[in-house]
A and B are shown apart, each in its own frame.
Chain A
Amino acid sequence: MPLFTALGFAMVPLGGGFFMIVLKDPDMARRVGLISTKAQLTMGAADWPTYLRFLTMAIGAGGIILFGLVAAWVFGREYSDRTAKDLLALPTSRSAIVLSKCVVIAVWSAALTVVICLITLCVGAALGLPPAAPQVFWQSGITIMVAVCLTISLTTPIAFAASAWRGYLPPIAVMILAMVVAQLTTAAGWGEYFPWAIPALFVQGEKLGAISYAIVVLTGIIGLAGTILWWELADQTR
């Protein structure tokens, strides 16, 4: 699973790098068949700001899916492998086990982000993108960091879904539902009030009020508290 998530996330900078190659010389790309003659290239120029914007947008939208998959697996596998019962009558408290798993999800998600940022820098340097001001990198770095923190906060309800429905398929269904609702609320103009829409809006540069950040943090806290209470109080029958 760690390898698959790393490979999945590595597609982001590699995909971005592909577009950088195409944007550097669209005619050459068409000639050698990299893109169709009908391709619409509206992404921007082959430079660091464009490449980093592609990266932040991908993390803002894709992070929810990838980090959600990590959370679904970390909690859901205990039920699908039927190992949850081995964690319930131990000197180590169930709350400590839940918190440890949440720390693993956060560290794993952060590590994936660091890896793709490093790949992005390497690919960009290898492609010889024109130098950019340091502020471009700092600004993108801060945007990515905040987006990742917001997205990691939203993994706790996924952890709760994995625990309550005992497996990793139900939380994936919940995640897909959240993504669909996020699209609908964003289209309706209410996205800043729906937790799963907020990271994407943030990386797009939307002006978000404190209420949006509070909604994400509160969702994270409720998800964590719910997961701990579920592990401590609910009948464990698997």
Chain B
Amino acid sequence: MNTDIETDNLVKRYGNVTAVDGVSLRVAKGEIYAFLGLNGAGKTTTIRLLLGMAKPTSGEARVLGARIRIGERKQWDSVGYLVETADAYPELTVRENLETMRRLRPGTAPQAVDRIIERLDLGAFADRCAGTLSHGNAQRLGLAKALFHNPALVILDEPASGLDPAGIVEIRNLLTELARDQGVTVFMSSHILGEVSRLAHRIGIIHHGRLLQELDMEELDRNRRRRLLLRTTNDTAARALLVGMGFSTDITSDGTIAVKDCMAIERPDDIATRLVNAGHAPTMLYVEEENLEHYFLRLVGVEEGNAN
């Protein structure tokens, strides 16, 4: 695999606190990799380690083929990033902030500033002081600073934070286009799991500093819990019939019958036929797939709002 990010048993401790605990991950070139975790799981610390802002206690990280170490900066020319919050010099305008960053990246064409202003729809705010921007527009400015120099790799910490629904869709389309049309690699942390499931090619789940799982979307599909939900004209009798057929059943909080057996999930038509023949015709029959949010919460041991 041609990797743009590679970490090998990365560990970061602050005193007795282990923020990152043996994380080994690979991000392929041109891939959109979503890094998921609860607050304090170690996402931002991992991102800081990848960007050389903190030294690992042990292990190592490679970005664009170069090992991250003191004084090594050749890879930063091709990396754009947004860490934690999108901040800017408040008394400088949007354009001046971008121009400042352009000068810190020698070789970037002056037109790059105008291009990114247009692309991120910041034209109306270009001459406004950054300190007066709304949270959403400040986030756009943060993204503009990460993207204006056409990087080969972008590392984004919560890129959709503070954006309205239209802004979230816009950023999703932008990142998808970057990966699809320009082969840009995207490594992003996010809390907006609905967006992640639409955007990411691969997902890494971190919890208490440990990388619990890395999986692509096909693996996620295979790992998701599915169940058959049904209601009938006589739920009590229908449930007894299903148990008699050898299925294990549950009742959900709203009184719906839930069946988790593979046979039932794969052949709901057979179940429907048997219920109709028994005189308990289904009024609702639905195969429910666990979404990414539930899958994530189940994996990290937090379900129904209860921490494990």
Cross-chain contact A86 with B101 (CB below 8 angstroms): yes
In the assembled complex, A236 has its CB within 8 A of some CB on chain B: yes
Judge whether A210 is part of the interface by a CB distance below 8 angstroms.
no
B76 pairs with A90, CB closer than 8 A: yes
* Cβ contacts under 8 Å, A90 to chain B: 73, 76, 104-105
Of residues 57 through 104 on chain B, the ones whose CB sits less than 8 Å from some CB of chain A are 70-71, 73-74, 76-77, 79, 81, 83-85, 87-90, 101, 104
B305 CB-CB contact with A under 8 Å: no
Determine which of A83, A93, A97, A235 lies in contact with B53 in the assembled complex, contact meaning CB atoms within 8 Å: A235
| A residues near B76, Cβ cutoff 8 Å | 89-91
A236-B90 in contact given A86-B145, A91-B76, A92-B106 (Cβ < 8 Å) = no
Residue of A nearest to B108 (CB): A91
- Interchain CB contact under 8 A, B104 and A83: no
Do the beta carbons of A85 and B53 come within 8 Å of each other?
yes
Candidates B52, B55, B88; contact of A83 at CB < 8 Å: B88
Q: How close is A10's CB to chain B, nearest CB, in angstroms?
A: 21
Q: Given that A88-B51, A88-B53 are contacting pairs, would A232 and B101 also be in contact in the complex, using a CB cutoff of 8 Å? A: no
A85 to B106, CA, bound (A): 18
Contact with A along B40-53 (1 / 0, CB 8 A): 00000000100111
B74 proximity list for chain A (CB < 8 A) = 91
Given A88-B51, A235-B54, A235-B55, answer yes or no on A83-B89 (Cβ-Cβ < 8 Å). yes
Q: Which residues of B contact A237 (CB under 8 A)?
A: 48, 53-54
Interface residues on B, range: 20 to 34
| Binary contact readout A69-81 vs B (1 if CB under 8 angstroms, 0 otherwise) | 0000000000001
Interface size class of A (residues with CB under 8 A): 10 to 19
Assuming the A-B contacts A81-B87, A81-B89, A237-B48, are A87 and B53 also in contact, with contact meaning beta carbons closer than 8 angstroms in the complex? no
B287-305 vs A, CB cutoff 8 Å, 1 = contact: the mask equals 0000000000000000000
- Docked pose: A63 CA to B54 CA in angstroms: 36
Report the bound CA distance from A176 to B101 in whole Å. 34
* A132 within 8 A of partner (CB): no
A233 close to B (CB within 8 Å):
yes
When the two chains form the complex, which single residue of A91, A93, A232 contacts B77, counting CB atoms closer than 8 Å?
Answer: A91
Q: Which of B51, B77, B85, B107 contacts A82 (CB 8 A)?
A: B85
If A83-B88, A85-B84, A87-B104 touch, whether A236 touches B53 (CB-CB below 8 Å) is yes
Q: When A82-B85, A83-B88, A233-B70 are in contact, do A92 and B104 touch as well, CB less than 8 Å?
A: yes
Residues of A within 8 A of B70 (CB): 232-233
Encode B101-131 as 1/0 by CB contact (under 8 A) with A.
1001111000000000000000000000000
User: Contacts A93-B73, A232-B71; is A83 near B87 (CB within 8 Å)?
Assistant: yes
Asked whether, in the complex, the Cβ of B89 is within 8 Å of the Cβ of A91, the reply is no
Distance, CA A85 to CA B51, complexed state (A): 10
CB distance from B194 to the nearest CB of A (A): 28
Min CB–CB distance B226 → chain A (angstroms): 42
Q: Is the CB of A89 within 8 A of B105?
A: no
Shortest B106–chain A CB gap in Å is 6
Please report the C-alpha to C-alpha distance between residue A235 and residue B68 in the assembled complex, in whole angstroms. Answer: 13
Interchain residue pairs with CB less than 8 A apart (19): A83-B88, A85-B87, A86-B101, A86-B145, A88-B51, A88-B53, A89-B52, A89-B73, A90-B76, A90-B105, A91-B74, A91-B107, A92-B104, A92-B106, A93-B71, A235-B53, A235-B54, A235-B55, A237-B53
5 further A-B pairs in the complex, CB-CB below 8 A; given A88-B52, A91-B73, A235-B48: A81-B88, A83-B88, A86-B145, A88-B51, A92-B104
A binding-site residues for B, Cβ under 8 Å? 81-83, 85-93, 97, 232-233, 235-237
